[in-house]
A and B are shown apart, each in its own frame.
Chain A
Amino acid sequence: QVQLVESGGGVVQPGGSLRLSCAVSGFSVSYFGMHWVRQAPGKGLEWVAVMWDENGQKIFYGDSVKGRFTISRDNSKNTLFLQMDSLRAEDTGVYYCARRANHAPDKWGQGTLVTVSS
């Protein structure tokens, strides 16, 4: 059974850092691409980042996070990460990880809430 469980969210001050994790079961992160997507409170979905080849070499970011966020994975732990630095108030929201299959984020986790506030 495919399962994705995000963790690592919390409250952080502007300019601070946070590292999100996405623990995966039922498939291997080394064989599937993986996305991060976020949703600000009461707003729509915003794509954040993707890693999508078996070597982890195809990595892309949304314009609003480029240079501040880093997507990575640990194949041995079957876990995806999102390192978030220089956080801003507008980064507040629920962060979802999702598997990439048939060019679509197809299976999603329940999300973890990140709040950037002083």
Chain B
Amino acid sequence: EIVMTQSPLSLPVTPGEPASISCRSSQSLLYSNGYNYLNWYLQRPGQPPQLLIFLGSRRASGVADRLSASESATDFTLRISRVEAEDVGVYYCMQALQPPYTFGQGTKLELK
């Protein structure tokens, strides 16, 4: 089983400031097609998860361009250039390379 490790687990951010969340996988998520099978989600309070990023760094439809992602085979980072109130919630990374698919522990972003 591939283990996903996120940091930090708690992230207080001042509105308008940048934020970044790290996710590390216990083995490479790079598939033979050149894509990393790594997804990012935001779960707002009381809501189901929303897909933000798929295949390592591709923004999902409707996702603000304030969000971006960088990737290597085992190290992944989600960045928010300027945090807004709508960014509050828990962020999860998920590997989709091989079953059982696994999520990181989650990073709770809150406003200062």
**Chains A and B form a bound pair:** yes
A47 interface hit (Cβ, 8 Å): yes
Asked if A26 lies at the interface with its beta carbon under 8 angstroms from chain B, I say no
Do residues B54 and A103 form an inter-chain contact, with CB atoms below 8 A? Answer: yes
Known: A45-B106, A110-B48. A61 touches B54 (CB 8 A): no
- Please, how many residues of chain B have a CB less than 8 angstroms from a CB on the other chain? 26
Inter-chain CB contacts under 8 Å: number: 61
- Which residues, 63 to 112 on B, are CB-close (under 8 Å) to A? 90, 92, 94, 96, 99-106
In A21-55, the 8 Å CB interface with B consists of 35, 37, 44-47, 50
Shortest Cβ distance from residue B24 to the other chain A in the assembled complex, whole angstroms: 16
**A108 B99 Cβ-Cβ under 8 A:** no
Contact assessment for A45 and B49 in the assembled complex, using a CB-CB cutoff below 8 Å:
yes
Interface size class of A (residues with CB under 8 A): 20 to 34
A111 touching B48 by the CB < 8 A rule?
yes
Residue of A whose beta carbon sits closest to that of B1: A63
Instruction: Give chain A residues whose Cβ lies under 8 Å from the Cβ of B57.
Output: none
Choose one: A46, A63, A106; the contact of B103 (CB below 8 Å): A46
**B92 A45 Cβ-Cβ under 8 A:** yes
**In the complex the two chains form, what is the Cα distance from A108 to B41 in whole Å?**
11
Chain A contacts with B in 81-118, Cβ cutoff 8 A:
96, 102-111
User: Is B54 in contact with A108, judged by CB distance below 8 angstroms?
Assistant: no
Query: Interface of A with B (CB < 8 Å)?
Result: 35, 37, 44-47, 50, 60-63, 96, 102-111
Supply 26 A–B pairs (Cβ within 8 Å), ascending by A. A35-B101, A37-B49, A44-B90, A44-B103, A44-B105, A44-B106, A45-B43, A45-B92, A45-B94, A47-B102, A60-B99, A60-B100, A61-B99, A62-B100, A102-B54, A102-B55, A103-B54, A103-B55, A104-B39, A104-B94, A105-B51, A106-B51, A106-B54, A106-B60, A107-B51, A110-B48
What residues of chain B have their CB less than 8 Å away from a CB belonging to chain A? 1, 35, 37, 39, 41, 43, 48-51, 54-55, 58, 60, 90, 92, 94, 96, 99-106
